[in-house]
Structure 1
């Protein structure tokens, strides 16, 4: 699989925009906005394109704040394994709106719907929300859903 981006828009009051997947991989789960990098794009350009396509927000690539460098490892299907860069976004233009792929909604951090998110999000997302920058690997079980291990280090 091609590498992916993931963006979490953050308002001045600290609330974060999540999107509930309406189709495809992760259907029904709350997540950040992002997807696969296209040929000729930088990861930051990918993140901004996906943010616009999935919820209508316009973001300048240089304004993204890198929060994590992750590798999603699927030992039973190496073609599924891929890297992902996670960003926070502040200072976008526009208002979020429903798209074919995502239903956007603002959440306070203490109200995150972790029970309806990817299993590993409960581990690494609080780390970056607390201000840490991390690098690590998430190991998925054969079903591609469950996480059986992870390893994260803080970046300086």
Structure 2
């Protein structure tokens, strides 16, 4: 899923983990960077919904981290690359990322649902609210 697209670090939660622990583990596994779970700042609580395939639908928490240790390195799972916000390769990202990522980069903290068409790529609708409400 997502092969060939620019993506953030992430993955599936393991038994006994909190969401923050999962995000910190995935960050390390995919980049070699170490962050403490308590240093992860939640900025997005998203549900990716595909009505034609409920097994594809999934939730995710988006975190920012400003404090970490290590140097980014290529792993079996990912070749990390950093972009300036003004130079994000949106055309090579998921269509949904083009909707929510600019919002959180502007400092919004969002919660919402993104609706996908049957092809699993096309976004046909979305709804967001402020996470702090």
TM-score by shorter chain over 0.5: yes
CA-based RMSD: 0.8
Identify the residue that residue 4 of structure 1 maps to in structure 2: none
Q: Within 1, Cα distance between the matches of 2:81 and 2:58?
A: 27
- Higher percent of residues as strand: 1
- Is 1:44 aligned with 2:24? no
Q: Within 1, Cα distance between the matches of 2:3 and 2:58?
A: 19
Aligned length: 132
Runs (4+) off by over 4 Å: none
Q: Output the TM-score relative to the length of structure 2.
A: 0.96
Q: Can you give the 5+ residue segments of structure 1 that lack an aligned partner in the other structure?
A: 1-24
Identify the residue that residue 150 of structure 1 maps to in structure 2: 126
Q: CA deviation at 1:107?
A: 0.6
Query: What secondary structure, in the 3-state scheme, does the structure 2 residue paired with 1:128 have?
Result: helix
Q: Can you give the 5+ residue segments of structure 2 that lack an aligned partner in the other structure?
A: none
Task: Provide Cα deviations, 1:76-134, integer angstroms capped at 9, x if missing partner.
Answer: 11111111000001110001111111111111000000000010111110110011100
Q: Within 2, Cα distance between the matches of 1:142 and 1:99?
A: 32
Q: Within 1, Cα distance between the matches of 2:130 and 2:80?
A: 29
1:115 is matched with which residue: 69, 91, 107?
Answer: 91
